[in-house]
Amino acid sequence: MFDVEGIRAATNQALNEEPGAALQYGATEGYQPLREQLAAFMHSKGALDVAPEQLIVTTGSQQALDLLGKTMISPGDRVIVEGPTFLATIQCFRLYGAQLISAPVDGNGVDTDQLEQLIAEHQPKMVYLIPTFGNPSGALLSLARRKRILELAVKYQTLIVEDDPYGDLYFGDAPPPSMLALSAQVPGSRDLLAHCGSLSKVLSPGLRVGWMIAPPALLANATMCKQFSDAHTSTFAQATAAQYLKAGRMPATLTHVRQVYAERAGAMGNALRRELGDAIEFVQPQGGLFVWARLTGANGKISSGAEFAKRAIEKGVAFVPGVPFYAADPDTSTLRLSFATADVARIEEGVARLAQAL
């Protein structure tokens, strides 16, 4: 699925046009041509007022989370996350001493009524969300809830972190605009919003190119911390990514990966319904990379995700049990399946083996 020819051409172009800049040390904030291309990329997705100076390039979006932890969290600070949420976020924020508060999620994303109660009660340092095809839940936050969250940010003067590595991987209709794009409709919310993006899921994880858009003071502190951490993201990788975006190949690449992932997601959903039946329940994903499922225990079948994982490994299949994705009160019957790297035949074989492990 990698656009090898496009990346090769971008690499050659980077070396032909500006070899010195591509191979030398660079600015901690990021390679300026890439910052300009990323701003244009965000414009294409509705965030029309993003300027290159409002973003820094990070070594994958995961570094952005680490920088948020370094700049925002002191031991004992409360941070609200979704339950479930990205495992590395839980680990990262806890490393900096955060007390994590879990907000419940349904098929339309985080429950905003309960989120407001938690914000009012705990007065968190920030709220971390993956609104679009969350990892692991796959949930898609509705448009109404996105606007409500921005309103809550202003009402309670609480920073919202929007992590968006999967938003371009939709299978049918495009998802609602990002909260970053919607912030223009909610006065004051832009000053309380950090947005993290990545090329890992749409172009190449090996390039390790992500970015963070944030209020000026937060961005300045994050840049200072990044300078201590790695000086800057690889200028060679940044120059390659800049040339790739400049060449205009991204729309075709996105069309291709959406088609492939949609086929694989459909195959996994069909196979799970066919092979496991009422022993499992899940919402068919509309995008992203994951199926988030729950074992029902129907007809005496297994209901523990951890035990099911052990049995599945004996059948030659691996998945991640759901418990580690919860900051608190885990649902032990949950599990995350990924359809990203297996073709349809292997997905069908894998699910058939899962059925044998029930």
Res. 210: pLDDT tops 90: yes
**CA angle, corner 36, sides to 167 and 187, nearest 5?**
60
Report pLDDT for 40: 98
pLDDT score at 156: 98
Nearest CA-CA partner of 297 in 333, 327, 332, 264: 333
Q: Are strands 159-163 and 193-198 parallel, antiparallel or unpaired?
A: parallel
CATH number, domain of 347, equals 3.90.1150.10
Domain boundary among 212, 228, 248: 248
pLDDT at 144 over 90: yes
Average of per-residue pLDDT across 272-279: 98
Q: What is the CATH number of the domain that holds 175?
A: 3.40.640.10
Report the C-alpha gap between 287 and 289 in whole angstroms. 7
Mean pLDDT of 86-101: 97
Q: Average pLDDT for residues 7-33, to the nearest whole number?
A: 97
Q: Which two tokens stand for residue 348?
A: 């069908």
- Identify the domain containing residue 327 by its residue range: 252-357
* Structural domain count of the chain: 2
C-alpha to C-alpha distances, 357 to 299, 303, 315, 350, nearest whole angstrom: 15, 12, 7, 11
Q: Give the pLDDT confidence score for residue 352 in this predicted structure.
A: 98
226-239 pLDDT, tens per residue?
A: 999 999 999 999 99
Q: Cβ neighbours of residue 243 under 8 Å, at least 6 residues apart? A: 9, 10, 11, 13, 14, 17
Could you report the per-residue pLDDT of 238-258, keeping only the tens digit for each?
999 999 999 999 999 999 999
Q: Identify the helix (H) or strand (E) that includes residue 195.
A: strand 193-198
Same domain, 311 and 162: no
* pLDDT for res 270: 98
Query: Which residues have a Cβ under 8 Å from the Cβ of 319 and sit 6 or more positions away?
Result: 309, 312, 335, 336, 337, 338, 354
By percentage, how much of the chain surpasses pLDDT 90?
A: 99
Classify 37 as helix, strand or coil: helix
Same domain, 236 and 145: yes
Q: What percent of the chain has pLDDT over 70?
A: 100
Same domain, 61 and 117: yes
Side chain identity, residue 310: K
In a shared domain, residues 82 and 126? yes
- Of the residues 214, 248, 282, the one at which a domain ends: 248
For residues 263 and 227, state if they share a domain. no
Q: How confident is the model at residue 107 (pLDDT cuts 50, 70, 90)?
A: confident
Q: How far is CA 151 from CA 20, 160, 252, in A?
A: 46, 11, 36
Backbone torsions φ then ψ of 48, nearest 5 degrees? -75, -20
CB 200 within 8 A of CB 207: yes
3-state helix, strand, coil in the chain (%, to 5): 50, 15, 30
Statement to judge: residues 199 and 117 lie in one domain: yes
Do both 332 and 194 map to the same domain? Answer: no
**Helix, strand, or coil here: 189?**
coil
Give backbone dihedrals phi and psi of 170, rounded to 5 degrees, phi first.
-100, 150
Assess whether 25 and 118 both reside in one domain: yes
What is the C-alpha separation between 195 and 181, in angstroms, rounded? 10
Last residue of a domain, one of 194, 217, 248: 248
pLDDT in tens, 38-89: 999 999 999 999 999 999 999 999 999 999 999 999 999 999 999 999 999 9
Q: Which helix (H) or strand (E) holds 109?
A: strand 109-110
Instruction: Give SS3 for 210.
Output: strand
* DSSP code, position 301: -
Q: Do 115 and 73 belong to one domain? A: yes
Q: What is the pLDDT of residue 195?
A: 98
99-106 vs 78-83, strand pairing mode: parallel
* Beta carbons of 253 and 16 less than 8 angstroms apart: no
Q: What confidence tens digit (pLDDT) does each residue in 279-329 have?
A: 999 999 999 999 999 999 999 999 999 999 999 999 999 999 999 999 999
Residues 283, 178 share a domain:
no
Q: What average pLDDT score do residues 154-179 get? A: 97
On whether both 231 and 318 belong to a single domain, the answer is no
Identify whether residues 203 and 333 lie together within a single domain.
no
How much is the average pLDDT of 156-174? 97
What is the rounded average pLDDT for all residues in the chain? 97
Q: Residue 264 and residue 224: Cα distance in Å, rounded?
A: 42
